[in-house]
Amino acid sequence: MNFIFDNDRPIYIQLVEQLEIYIISGKIKSGEKLPSVRDLALKTKVNPNTMQKALVELEDLKLIYTERTNGKYVTKDKKLLNKFKDKYAKEKTKKYLNEMQELGFMKTEIIEILKEDDK
């Protein structure tokens, strides 16, 4: 796992975002046990309190859950994971389209470019 932070935004929000991507991309597998807060904090080189805050947020989003006394696990809910995937797909696509349109491309042209790229 490799985390990059930007000091301009709350660190815990950036942690949530990056952990979210690790989870929905399957780099941290569905059902997998997460390392302890402390180990995660050491890996990402953040304060354990900040990591704890990020995990609470991920738990609120239901992307992870706590098994009593046993630690935290990534959700097994495939539907939920797909929902997050969709959300990301829409966001990224929108961003790409906006950037392309700013460069003066029409949607039809963009679709052609994508098809071309696929060949």
13 binds another protein, rule: CB under 8 A: yes
Among 30, 32, 35, 48, binds another protein (CB under 8 A): 48
Alpha carbons 28 and 61: distance in angstroms, whole number: 16
Exposed (0-12), middle (13-18) or buried (19+): which is 40, by Cβ within 10 Å?
A: buried
Q: How distant, in Å, are the alpha carbons of 67, 86, 106 from that of 77? A: 15, 14, 38
Residue 49 interacting with another protein (CB under 8 A): yes
Q: Is 41 in the site for another protein (CB under 8 A)?
A: yes
**CB closer to another protein out of 23 and 41:** 41
Under 8 Å between Cβ of 12 and 50: yes
CB of 3 to another protein, least distance (A): 10
- Residue 11 found at the interface with another protein (CB under 8 A): yes
Q: Is 16 in the site for another protein (CB under 8 A)?
A: no
With binding defined as CB under 8 A, does residue 8 bind another protein?
yes
Q: What three-state secondary structure class fits 73?
A: strand
**What are the residues binding another protein (CB under 8 A)?**
5, 7-13, 41-42, 45-50, 53
